[in-house]
A and B are shown apart, each in its own frame.
Chain A
Amino acid sequence: MTLTASWKRPVGRRIVLGMVTLGFAGIAFGESVQRFIGGAISKVSPGGGGLASLIPGANSFRIYTVTDSFPSESTQDYTLKVTGLIDNPTTYTFEDLVGLPQTSLTKDFQCVTGWRVPNVHWKGVLLSEIIKRASVQPRAQAVLFHSFDGVYTESLTLDQASRNDVIVAYEMLGQRPISSEHGGPVRLYVAPMYGYKSCKWLSEIELSDKVIPGYWEDLGYDVNAWIGRSNGRSDAPVDGA
């Protein structure tokens, strides 16, 4: 057995230790590598859908839901209720919403867990337009959002809700209605805040006298979720091309 065993080295241990070292380096510096790869893939596949979503480092959506299954509603059955401290309670159908003045935005979607999809195309109605039509009572200070998944909730102050980059979206990534996995047929898009503010499967907008922390905020995320200025993160603003 000594014929070929002229040398013996602990190569197995070196492989393991080498991988662990690379793993630490990847944790510490992987973000810049990811940004480079993500940027390159985004040029080829904007929005990171389809096969691009399978490439590690691609800037693609990760599909989250907090319930056991994905809620789904057709555009025929879909309704959006506007309730609470208003003089003019309304129920919109999908067609009603599409008939309101339209707003298009092309802006990034930034998740608080770190992933970001650049230059997503959104289309919908300004939230402020819907609030204006509801005739808000003076006591109202906040807007609460309910999802037809039956669990998820979010909220904004009335000032935040009046911004011109906060929309009730019915089109996203060129798809109308928005697909079920992305929160369709209608979802909220709060451009200046982390993704958990952009309530998916939106079913009710409720005017309230105070902000009520939403689903993830009860679990520790910041209520005022400004991108780059909350949750201990320093992400760049989301203004897209």
Chain B
Amino acid sequence: MGLAVSELELPPEDSLGGLIPRFDLTERLVHWLTALFMFTCIATALPLYIPPFAQLIGRRELLVVIHVYSGILLVVPTLAGVASKRWGSQLRDDLKKINRWDGEDSMWFKSWGRDPLLLPGKFNAGQKANSAFIAGAILVMLMTGVVMHWFGPFPVSWRTGATFIHDLLAYMIVVVIVGHIGYAIRYPATIRAIVSGKVSRRWASEHAPAWVGELDRSDQN
């Protein structure tokens, strides 16, 4: 456990060579393209679903086209990033980290991250849960959306079931995204990380200590 050592080696100021890379260009592009398509889906969903907005905006046919195709595009950035041999290696590594949960993660949920004894890795359990939920939600919205829009080949009851799931999950997605943005605002370093790709070593040692330890060990190797 090289963690305590790395903490002692902390430079006193962030500015003293204290920035470490957190997200590479591929990851940031994947994040922001996904965000763009998600935002487009939500913005077009409002006038499709809520009658007063529908009346205000009209243009239903156009909105449907934009909504459907940005929904399909939602899966593209992640798949393209993962599939890219050359540009996707860090994305693939981080997805492995997000996928794997250990005892640390179940402890995180007991205190919602407040327990001072927690030593999260690059991603804490909340971040892992958020990523997994959004990934699952995008797939379910895609499935149900396809049944709603191209209903021809499916049994007619599926269209009602798909509509119900699509509506219900839409609310959950909005709640989770509002939470995601709320946490980002509360921890501005995370916004800098997903914009510039870098975080200060000090921030990382506080919020992702096991990750810093891991980085230092791989530097030594």
Contacts and interface: CB of A to CB of B under 8 A. Distances in A.
Interface in A1-53: 1-13, 15-20, 22-24, 26-31, 33-34, 37, 53
Nearest to B53: A63
Given A11-B99, A27-B158, A28-B158, A115 B213 contact: no
B3 interface: yes
The interface residues of chain B, by DSSP majority, are classed as: helix
A100 interface: no
A115 B160 contact: yes
A26 B136 contact: no
Of listed B95, B139, B140, B157, residue having the most chain A CB within 10 A: B157
B165 interface: yes
Nearest to A53: B51
A234 interface: yes
A227 to B, nearest CB: 12
A62 B60 CA distance: 12
A221 to B, nearest CB: 12
B128 to A, nearest CB: 6
Interface in B89-144: 95, 98-105, 107, 119, 121, 128-129, 131-133, 135-137, 139-140, 143-144
Of listed B58, B139, B165, residue having the most chain A CB within 10 A: B165
Interface stretch (A65-73, A125-133, A166-174, A195-203): A65-73
B55 interface: yes
A180 B54 CA distance: 11
Contacts of A24: 143
Interface string A163-204: 000000000000000001100000000000000000000000
Contacts of B161: 26-31, 33-34
A12 B128 contact: yes
Interface of A: 1-13, 15-20, 22-24, 26-31, 33-34, 37, 53-54, 56-57, 61-70, 113-115, 180-181, 231-234
> Which are the 10 A-B pairs with shortest beta-carbon distances?
A30-B161, A19-B136, A23-B140, A56-B167, A26-B165, A12-B99, A114-B160, A11-B101, A15-B132, A69-B58
7 contacts: A16-B132, A16-B136, A31-B161, A54-B50, A56-B168, A57-B164, A69-B59
Interface of B: 1, 3, 49-51, 54-55, 58-62, 95, 98-105, 107, 119, 121, 128-129, 131-133, 135-137, 139-140, 143-144, 147-148, 151, 156-165, 167-171, 210, 213-214
